[in-house]
Amino acid sequence: MKRFIFVIVCFFVISPALAGGLSEKTQSMSLGFSYVDTDDLGKETDLSVGWAYGFKEGLVQVGASVSYFSQDFDGSDKFDSSTIGPLVAINFMPAAKATPYISFEVVTVGGDLGDAYDLGYGAGAGVKAFIGDSASLDVGVGFSRLQSDISFLDDLDSTVFLVGVSFYFGNR
């Protein structure tokens, strides 16, 4: 057990010292998990996967995301849905070991919620903290909205808290 703890401590002490930045890589794959508490509606758990290609030495990333989420409505049933769409991220210090970013996304909605909501969009901000030469821990907060084309349904506005990991590959 002591060896395991030693290895973990060494990883978190040494790997940031060896960490690269976005300016060294061209592509990224991200895995995200978020928990959303929608006002007067319920809870949502979201698992997302994204791919992005970096331009301008990592300053701008353009790609696509796919998400699966489960919505647990207060006092009602549980619904499963999915989204897919393009994303854009702007990284303010791509060569740094901790990179602040803002992101924007537009998605189409499928599954159970796709019957009532057609389009979603969101914006977020956070930090990508590199934990090695090719990985970062991503932490952020954002806003998302699902729009309905049914007149009696309100749009779903949500505050999103995100924790995820990104893997980088493709040297410049």
Rounded distance, CA 48 to CA 121, Å? 14
pLDDT in tens, 76-97: 777 788 889 999 999 998 888 8
Is the pLDDT reported for residue 17 higher than 60? no
Q: What is the CA radius of gyration of the chain?
A: 18
Domain that holds residue 77: 2-171
Rounded distance, CA 87 to CA 52, Å? 8
The residue among 128, 117, 55, 46 whose CA lies nearest residue 88 is 55
- 24 contacts 102 by C-beta, under 8 angstroms: no
Q: What is the CATH number of the domain that holds 90?
A: 2.40.160.20
- 114 contacts 84 by C-beta, under 8 angstroms: no
The confidence score (pLDDT) of residue 105 equals 93
Is the pLDDT reported for residue 165 higher than 70? yes
Is the pLDDT reported for residue 14 higher than 60? no
The confidence score (pLDDT) of residue 66 equals 92
Model-level pTM greater than 0.85? no
pLDDT in tens, 23-42: 667 788 888 777 777 766 77
Q: How many structural domains does the chain have?
A: 1
Joined together, the tokens standing for residue 54 give: 């970096």
Residues in the chain: 172
Rounded distance, CA 39 to CA 170, Å? 41
Residue 15 pLDDT level (bands cut at 50, 70, 90) = very low
